Amino acid sequence: MNDLKKEIELLETELISLRRDFHMNPELGYNEFRTSQIVYEYLKDLGLEVKKIAKTGVVGLLKGSRVGKTVMLRADLDAIAQEEKTGLSFQSLNKGVMHACGHDGHIAMLLVAAKILVRYKDNINGNIKFVFQPNEEEAGALDMINEGVLENPRPDAAFAIHLWTPIESGKIGISTGAVMAALEEFELNIIGKAGHTGSPHTAIDPILAASNIIQTLQSIQTREIDPLLPIAIMIGKINGGSGRNIIAENVEIGGTIRFLFNDEEKEKQLLLNKFERIIKGVCDAMDVKYNLKFIPSNPSLLNNEKMINYVKKASIKTFTSDNNVVEYRCMAGEDFAEFSQRVPSAFYFIGTGNVKKNTNYPHHHPKFDIDEDTLKYGVEMHVRTALDFLNN
């Protein structure tokens, strides 16, 4: 382990090359066919037991020389529906699809970590499961779980990294407890009665009702929920109307409800009840009808204190100082939460925000990019946390 940094340095060109290849060839959830095949062949060449699962997911198993526990390391494969505007020499070749969240870096880091960990096979007590998950943006973790990713062997611990531009390059964000929000998505259809804008009394205007609903829903987080509990109700889309002089027949609204609650299941249901009560009240008052659909996404991501201690220990050796460690939580959703609800887990953030390198754009932005100098930190953290957990 004394030469680990040197080992990673010798593989850094390969690490960056892998990341750039994935970045140039992004694929949406459950369509990561090229990405999946590259990962499969890479792990196979390392001598691991490899299988495909959940359509385009890949799992590689490294068995140590001695019997012991099993640790799971996870990376996500999918890109998002975003037109890239970075101007990079390795910009996306797939129109309207982009790695705008750092998953390309996650894949590269875990592949290179696997290559290094194979070299330590004779010194490993137990097993390492390398899980490359499809469709993170649409909750693919649950599909992997339903298809048995947590069995044969069952992990005793799970770790995952997210490259994160809101954190400065060279720093690492680590926290115990709930670190990323639970997420419920919703689709709302408001149904009125079409008509002429010159005769509004003969129609029922769903756009007016929609504007009232959007405004009134915000009162939940300011008037009906403990202000110490984080909650964010956001409207992501609104569609309605076909002409400037036509009163629309219906309006479609879509959005997200994010929250970090102590008693999640109980308080979530109370929140959703309040949400629909307001919608029903406005619709009744304005004589429109509605259809509301909640789309469960993921629960809160919970970090186990013991697993976080392994991360903190590894971070001191990786970043050479505990001054690089920051407490960090956010209201983004992350479906690693499904693993964290079933296995003692640690999910943490490696900062990749660098103003000088233009890697300070937010995630899901068309100019999103990562500071490639931070990829080596992810490799080292994967290696150190896995070996420390299994051999101690």
How far is it, in rounded angstroms, from Cα 318 to Cα 354?
A: 19
Domains 4-178+300-391 and 182-297 share a fold: no
pLDDT range class, residue 139, cuts 50, 70, 90 = confident
Helix-helix angle 12-24:33-45, to 10 degrees? 160
Q: Is 162 annotated as a binding residue?
A: yes
How far is it, in rounded angstroms, from Cα 60 to Cα 58?
A: 7
User: What local confidence, expressed as pLDDT, does residue 262 receive?
Assistant: 67
Quick: pLDDT tens for 84-124.
999 999 999 999 999 999 999 999 999 999 999 999 999 99
Mean pLDDT of all residues in 135-143: 92
Mean pLDDT of all residues in 258-283: 90
Asked if 13 and 82 touch (Cβ cutoff 8 Å), the reply is no
pLDDT range class, residue 1, cuts 50, 70, 90 = low
**Which fold would CATH assign to domain 182-297?**
Alpha-Beta Plaits (3.30.70)
Question: Alpha carbon of 389 to those of 3, 80, 196, 370, 386: distances in Å?
Answer: 19, 33, 69, 29, 5
DSSP reduced 3-state for 178: strand
Strand partners, 177: 303
Strand partners, 158: 72, 345
Q: pTM value?
A: 0.90
Residue type, 206: P
Mean pLDDT of all residues in 276-283: 98
- Region of residue 298 (left: phi > 0; alpha: psi -120 to 50; beta: else): beta
Q: What are phi and psi of 51, to 5 degrees?
A: -145, 155
Percent of the chain having pLDDT more than 70?
Answer: 99
The class of domain 4-178+300-391 in CATH terms is alpha beta
- Here the tokens at position 143 are 């599909």
Mean pLDDT of all residues in 42-57: 98
Quick: pLDDT tens for 59-84.
999 999 999 999 999 999 999 999 99
Q: Which helix (H) or strand (E) holds 163?
A: strand 157-168
Question: Alpha carbon of 327 to those of 324, 337, 341, 386: distances in Å?
Answer: 10, 18, 21, 22
Q: Is 101 annotated as a binding residue?
A: yes
Q: Say which residue the tokens 């956001």 belong to.
A: 234
Pairing label, strands 172-173, 182-191: unpaired
- Here the tokens at position 10 are 């010798």
- Here the tokens at position 108 are 């590269």
Find the radius of gyration of the CA atoms of the chain.
Answer: 23
Mean pLDDT of all residues in 210-230: 93
Quick: pLDDT tens for 153-177.
999 999 999 999 999 999 999 999 9
Asked if 362 and 2 touch (Cβ cutoff 8 Å), the reply is no
Asked if 346 and 159 touch (Cβ cutoff 8 Å), the reply is yes
pLDDT range class, residue 275, cuts 50, 70, 90 = very high
Q: Say which residue the tokens 């002089």 belong to.
A: 245
- Here the tokens at position 57 are 């997911």
**Domain ranges, ordered by start, for the chain:** 4-178+300-391, 182-297
User: What local confidence, expressed as pLDDT, does residue 134 receive?
Assistant: 98
